[in-house]
Structure formats: C-alpha cells, structure tokens
C-alpha cells in the first residue's frame, strides 16, 4: 500500500492510501482560501459523574446536508474544489475542519500552543481543560453514491489498513489516551454528509464506556482467572444461537444482552488489543465478514439500515492486557418504519429496555 501525506490550504493534514499500483502520484495542491483553524475547544469534568464533556461551539457552523454537487468529500474538479484536492482517490483521511477535539501542543500550527480562552467561567467544583486531541475524517471511496457495504473486499481491506495506520500514529502522539474509529450512516443517526465516510477521534482521556469495560474485565479476572470477552466469545461460538457469521478468524454475533433493536459484534478469535496488531490474514478475513454483515443489514428492510459502527480498542497507556478488540455495529431502526428512541429509562437512568430478544434478531439476520 502506498501512503502519501500532504497539507490542505489551512495546514490540516491529508493522507491518501492507494493499493492500485497504477494510481497517479498524489501531488494536487489545495488552492482554496480557508480561514485559520479554530483555537482549542474546552472540556469540563462533570463533578457528579467524573466524566469529561467537550464544548466545541464552533461546530455549530459545520457543513449541513449539502447537495451532491457541493459535497466536500468528493474529489475536486475544475470549478469545484473540495476537501480532497485530487481528482480521484481510493481512501483519503484528513483532519476534520470542525473538530470536537483540537490539536495538541507541539504540533506544527499556531493554534496548537494556545491556551484556554481567558473569558471561560471559573468554578472550584468543575475542572476545566483544553479539549486537546485530534479528529479525522476517513473517506472510504471517491464514489458519492456508494456505501461501505458496496465496497469490494480489496477496498474494504484498504480502509482497515488506513484505520490501523491512523491508530498507530495517533496513539504515538503525546497526550492521546485512546483512539476511536467509527462510522455513522443514515440521517436517522444524525449524518449530515451522505458521502461514504467515517471518523477517528484521538481522545485525551480514556472514554467512560472503555473505563467501565476495563473495571468489569479486571473484576472478572480476579474472580475467574480469565478474559471476560474471550469467555463470552467462546460461549457464543459454542452455543451458536446468536452467531451470524463464523469464519476462520472472526465471529459476528448478536450480543447476549443487546441494547439496540439490531446489534452485532464482530470479534477476532485471537486476543489483540487494537487494529494495529491484526495480521494480514485477519484483516482480509474481517473485510469479507464485515461486508457480509452489512449486506444482511441492508436486506432487513426495504431501505438501507442506518447504523453506527464503533471500534472498541484498548487505551494507549492502560488496560491493554484486559482489552479484546471488537467492532460493535448497531441500528436505531426497530422495524421498517419505526425507530427506537432513548426515552425516560435509557436517557434518564441508563437502564435499557429492549423491544426484541437477541435470539430473534440473530435468526432474522441469518435468514436474510
């Protein structure tokens, strides 16, 4: 795979990933006149939960549902310049123009060394800090009307390699504690750009969900002497009731206590902490299994299923021996014309109530 790093007009990095040996060199310049990148966002620590909340008011002005001929993720063409200066590409990754977390000190930008705004409220109870990190956009294909489910296995494998590349590089940056690769698809999820793409967040802290998983994994190890995720995976493969696909290196199954109307976990059979540690064979096999699962998602109803695909990777500096890489893919659509809303119990107390059983969902996904 050929990797080419360039800079956009405002200094943001863009990286092209090419597997086609006949692909032209990526040398196009970004000729747009862009305003400077925003200064650091703020984050505040909730004194009741201990969780960090990012405040990124500049994101109110981000691009919202542009027409296809103004899509910022399509390749540039004469008279229409986009975030991708090239006239074509395989996979492209660039720094988000409207980031939730902004660059760490030490990176090559005038904003990187700036501190918090001086007019922020001060409160002895609520901790404040710059929301340092990095947010990137991953364009899966240059085809505007495509989707991840319609990629070839080779194209999907290139995306996997891009995820792994970015995970390794971002994890090596000072101040990054966790790297999160994900995709939001569908307006029901809140997507405002329809071009097939995902995102990557490099957080300056371990996320609440991951911290909870690590606590449970540590407690399980102390009581049972094993890996909770590995034992769950072994039980699912042995029982088979909730398994959708079981390949040489990966198993896709509906979690036994699934929260969402449609939810599938994809896990490697070998314990690895992150995408970087996957072998070539495991990456190839994942591409095939994931495309199979997404195809089943899209055959459930008369229209493509909206979903969130969230990679669960080990934090950079803690809990790596407790972590088992897996991808969680879930949808808010509970029937062809109904959505699941997080109402009182879910939103107010964090107690989920499911309208279907995991076994019913697994059977339906196997049928399609």
> What tens digit of pLDDT does each residue of 280-290 get?
999 999 999 99
Both tokens assigned to 341: 């809303």
Task: Say yes or no: 266 and 280 in one domain.
Answer: yes
Task: Say yes or no: 122 and 24 in one domain.
Answer: yes
Count the neighbouring beta carbons within 10 Å of the beta carbon of residue 273.
17
Taking 60 as the threshold, does the pLDDT of residue 148 lie above it?
yes
Residue after which a domain boundary falls, among 157, 180, 205: 205
The four Cα atoms 367, 293, 140, 146 give a dihedral, to 10 degrees, of 0
Task: Say yes or no: 164 and 246 in one domain.
Answer: no
- Output the domain CATH number for residue 192: 3.30.428.10
> What tens digit of pLDDT does each residue of 189-202 get?
989 899 999 999 99
> What tens digit of pLDDT does each residue of 149-172 get?
999 999 999 999 999 999 999 999
Task: Say yes or no: 152 and 240 in one domain.
Answer: no
Residues near 271 by beta carbon (within 8 Å), at least 6 away in sequence: 227, 230, 324
Taking 50 as the threshold, does the pLDDT of residue 262 lie above it?
yes
Q: Cα–Cα distance between 179 and 199 in angstroms, integer?
A: 11
**Residues 62-79, mean pLDDT to the nearest whole number:** 89
Point out the annotated binding site.
Answer: 71, 74, 144, 195
Among residues 194, 197, 249, 326, the one annotated as catalytic is 197
The pair phi, psi for residue 28, each rounded to 5°, is: -65, 140
Point out the annotated binding site for Zn(2+).
Answer: 71, 74, 144, 195
Residue span of the structural domain in which 354 resides: 209-367
Task: Say yes or no: 58 and 161 in one domain.
Answer: yes
197 is catalytic: yes
Mean pLDDT rounded to a whole number for the chain:
93
Residue after which a domain boundary falls, among 177, 205, 233: 205
Task: Say yes or no: 253 and 350 in one domain.
Answer: yes
Q: Which residue has the tokens 């019913």?
A: 360
Number of domains in the chain: 2
CB 139 within 8 A of CB 196: yes
Task: Say yes or no: 176 and 230 in one domain.
Answer: no
Residue 346 pLDDT: 95
**Would you say the pTM of this structure is higher than 0.85?**
yes
> Buried b / exposed e across 205-232, counting CB within 10 Å, b at 16+?
bbbeebbebbeebeebeeeeeebbbeeb
């Amino acid at each position: 795979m050929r990797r080419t790093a360039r800079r956009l007009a405002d200094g943001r990095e863009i990286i092209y990933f090419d597997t086609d040996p006949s692909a032209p060199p990526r040398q196009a310049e970004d000729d747009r006149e862009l305003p400077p990148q925003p200064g650091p966002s703020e984050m505040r620590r909730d004194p009741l939960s201990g969780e960090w909340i990012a405040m990124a008011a500049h994101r109110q002005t981000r691009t919202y549902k542009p027409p296809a001929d103004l899509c910022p993720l399509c390749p540039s063409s004469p008279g229409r310049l986009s975030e991708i200066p090239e006239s074509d590409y395989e996979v492209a990754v660039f720094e988000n123009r409207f980031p939730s977390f902004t660059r760490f000190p030490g990176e090559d930008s005038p904003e990187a060394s700036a501190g918090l705004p001086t007019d922020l409220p001060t409160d002895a109870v609520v901790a404040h800090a710059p929301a340092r990190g990095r947010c990137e956009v991953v364009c899966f294909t240059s085809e505007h009307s495509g989707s991840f489910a319609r990629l070839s296995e080779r194209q999907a494998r290139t995306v996997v390699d891009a995820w792994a590349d970015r995970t390794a590089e971002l994890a090596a940056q000072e101040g990054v504690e966790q790297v999160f690769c994900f995709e939001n698809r569908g307006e029901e999820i809140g997507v405002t750009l329809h071009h097939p793409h995902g995102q990557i967040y490099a957080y300056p802290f371990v996320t609440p969900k991951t911290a909870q998983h690590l606590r449970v994994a540590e407690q399980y190890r102390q009581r049972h002497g094993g890996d909770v995720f590995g034992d769950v995976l072994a039980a699912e493969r042995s029982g088979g009731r909730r398994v959708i696909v079981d390949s040489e290196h990966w198993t896709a199954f509906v979690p036994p206590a699934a929260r969402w109307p449609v939810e599938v976990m994809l896990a490697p059979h070998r314990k690895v902490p992150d995408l970087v540690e996957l072998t070539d064979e495991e990456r190839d096999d994942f591409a095939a299994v994931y495309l199979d699962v997404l195809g089943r998602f899209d055959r459930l109803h008369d229209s493509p299923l909206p979903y969130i695909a969230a990679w669960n990777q080990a934090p950079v500096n803690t809990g790596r021996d407790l972590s088992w890489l897996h991808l969680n893919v879930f949808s808010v659509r509970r029937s062809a014309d109904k959505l699941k809303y997080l109402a009182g119990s879910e939103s107010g107390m964090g107690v989920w109530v499911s309208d279907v059983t995991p076994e019913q969902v697994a059977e339906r996904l196997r049928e399609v």
